[in-house]
Structure 1
Amino acid sequence: MTAEHDNEYRPRRQRRPRKKDPIRTVFFTLLGIVVVAAIVGGGYIFNLANSFNSKSQTIESAFPTDRMAKDPNDKSVNILLMGSDSRNTSGGNLTETSDGSRSDTMMLMHVPENRENVYVMSIMRDTWVDIPGQGEHKINAAMAFGGVPLVVQTIEGMFETRVDHVAIIDFSGFKELTDALGGVEINNPEAFSANGSTGEFFPAGTQTLSGDSALSFVRERKAFSDGDYSRVRNQQLFVKALMSKFLTAETLTNPVRINEVVSEFSPFLSVDNELDAMKAGSLGVSLRDVRSSDVQMFTLPTLGTGTSADGQSIVVPDEEAIAEIASALQSDSLGEYLSTADLE
């Protein structure tokens, strides 16, 4: 896909305000298992975890053979979260190493060693980067060139930081999760009509979205003058509302509802072979004191849009910001970087 912007190069940083928004959909559901465990106890959570492990898919070869080394004393955790545009409607295999698909949404979640905060960085899918062995391309092309291992290798190369885990959800799973929660209420800041066959209209203001409408809402970009920038904004807005719905007492104290959510969602989720319910649960327990105000979401800074040498409309990377974030990740000081960085 291309960036729907003017092809004029704008040599200034296009940065979104920092948002204290919740973590993305994949981690929400895994962390939700831990929260439920604290409420309803052992026997039920065992069955719930078993359901997650048996229905989710395992990415057997999620990592490249040439991996970034990790300091054994480094206890921080980096999880690569991706949304696939495979349009899989049956919960089928999302784990092929190279099937021509592209990652539609890409985020790097950083959990610091002190477990006092969680940081989630969105990466614009049209960001022009060096993909190992392929040269310069949009970052979302890495999946098509070499599957999950090449995406991991690309991210590790950009930030000189090891990726510890990978989780992928396809868009059918996104719809299933929304419907399993009975719809999600959002407050849309800007009215727009989605492109495509349905042309669904989203008025400004409060409204409840079901699975199909939610998918249309978070995927739309052509309706906006700044394209993917507004698309990322709407994704973050929706996920915040999704998290609010998921973590209500009404949901978390209802074992039937939680079981439905995990059961419906898991078949559309693929994780590396170490990120099972036990691993996710352990991480969740270590984050038990983290609240929504401790979770910060931001978009990797860019220099706006431009045109590649071969004529593609691209998002121009901010190499200075990438280097700064790489240094912050390596020193586990991302919070300090974000507190001083000009992300306006």
Structure 2
Amino acid sequence: MRYEKYKKKKKRKSTSILLIFLVLVGATAGYAFYQYKQGVNQSLEKMNNEKAGSNINNEEFTFEGKKDQYGATNILLLGSDARGEEKARADTIMIAHYNEKKGTYKLTSIMRDSYVSIPDHGKHKINSAFMRGGPELMRKTIKENFDIDLQYYAIVDFEGFVQLIDEAFPKGVEINVEKKMSAYVEVPLEPGLQRLNGEQMLSFVRFRHDAIGDFGRVQRQQQALQAISNQLSGIQTIPKLPKLIGVVTPYINTNMDTGDILFMAKDFFAKDRGNIDTFRIPIENGYEDANIKGEGAVLELDLEMNNEAFHQFLTK
């Protein structure tokens, strides 16, 4: 008799714990969705107020991506330099690497003037692959030249970068500006360690009018992403993720689900990684400067040397 009462009491207790757990899960999911929608609406309202929205989500692309031979997820990140209705080249080309089993996050930048074979189009600067065939042709071009598969793509409007910085860092991102940057940037920068808001960070990552040109710009882009990662990392960031993703969503065209983005971001911040290994194509001494008729100044790559170093970076 006592045993039966004990069993019933234990069953009621287990049921109560399960119900509490389900309520907590539901409340957490509801809060996350609310924050996400808050972020989306915030960006849409800003677009409407400025009477200048982003056209980046208006076009649908095919993308036949898959995981790479190492079991990792690679995301093609493209920053577009479109002006009005003209066809856009890729102003920024990066590959974000996420290996769930190893728990590693890496980032590769590909110089936009790299002179490569573009499937069915001959040899051209790699940034023109986007203009000729969207992210799918860029995926094929990277696969053909660098032997790596890409599972997802994300085309980013630079205004989304500005909004993300301002939302995540109300006091700005601390970063060292190594020189005065005033040529062809909307917000000039003075040298020194300082906190930059979204517009200032955009000037920092896009400036390239100095002696080292695009090489310096790629270096600053990786420096900026590392600083953002370091200053945003930690368990305290996780509650902010749904809104941050919502803020940037209207400025991104991607084949990734919001859940995929949230999962990868949560895994990164939950483990307080705060560090991303970076790589650049071409590597030092892995290219020659050349001038091609119809293309202008290009980087002639030693593909064998670059690929060997690239795959070593991916597998270490």
- TM-score where L is the length of structure 2: 0.73
What's the CA shift for 1:278?
1.5
Q: In the alignment, which residue of structure 2 is the partner of 1:276? A: 257
Contact in 2 for aligned 1:246/1:252 (Cα 8 Å) = no
Q: Does 1:291 align with 2:279?
A: no
In the aligned structure 2, how far is the partner of 1:128 from the partner of 1:119?
A: 24
**Does the aligned pair in 1 maintain the 2:113–2:298 contact within 8 Å?**
yes
The equivalent residue for 1:242 is: 228
1:58 and 1:314, CA in 2 relative to 1: closer, same or farther beyond 3 A? same
**For residue 80 of structure 1, what is the aligned residue in structure 2?**
76
User: For residues 68 and 312 of structure 1, what CA distance do their matches in structure 2 show?
Assistant: 31
2:244 matched residue in structure 1? 261
Distance 1:214 1:62 in 2: 32
Does residue 184 in structure 1 map to residue 184 in structure 2?
no
SS at match of 2:170: coil
Task: Give the Cα separation in 2 of the matches to 1:172 and 1:105.
Answer: 14
- The alpha-carbon distance between structure 1 residues 195 and 185, as it changes in their structure 2 partners (threshold 3 A), is same
Shift, 1:137, TM fit: 0.9
Do 1:80 and 1:163's aligned partners in 2 also have CA atoms closer than 8 Å? yes
Corresponding position of 2:3? none
RMSD over aligned CA atoms reads: 3.4
CA shift digits 1:213-255 (9 cap, x unpaired): 2211111111x211111111111222222233433677655x5
Matches within 5 A, 1:1-344: 41-49=28-36, 57=57, 60-63=60-63, 75-86=71-82, 100-112=87-99, 114-180=101-167, 181-188=169-176, 190-196=178-184, 198=186, 200-203=188-191, 205-222=192-209, 224-247=210-233, 261-272=244-255, 275-284=256-265, 287=268, 288-289=270-271, 291-293=273-275, 295-300=276-281, 301=283, 302-310=286-294, 312-324=296-308, 334-336=314-316
Q: Is the 8 A contact 2:80 2:90 kept in 1?
A: yes
**AA of the residue aligned to 1:86:** A
**For the residues of structure 2 that align with 1:231 and 1:225, how far apart are their CA atoms?**
11
1:153 Cα deviation (Å)? 1.4
The structure, 1 or 2, with the larger RCO (C-alpha pairs under 8 Å, 6+ apart) is 1
SS of equivalent to 1:109: strand
SS in 1 for 2:88: coil
Change (3 A) 1:87 1:245: farther
Q: CA deviation at 1:77?
A: 1.1
Indicate if the aligned counterparts of 1:221 and 1:231 stay in contact, CA closer than 8 A: yes
- The answer on whether the counterparts of 1:173 and 1:268 sit within 8 Å (CA) in structure 2 is yes
How far apart, in 2, do the equivalents of 1:100 and 1:283 lie? Answer: 32
Percent sequence identity over matched residues? 28
Would the aligned equivalents of 2:155 and 2:254 in 1 still touch at CA under 8 Å?
Answer: yes
Larger Rg: 2
1:133 and 1:163 mapped to 2: Cα distance?
Answer: 19
Instruction: Give the structure with the higher percent helix.
Output: 2
| Structure 1 stretches lacking a partner, 5+ long | 1-36, 89-97, 337-344
TM-fit CA distance, 1:141: 0.7
How far apart, in 2, do the equivalents of 1:48 and 1:263 lie? 8
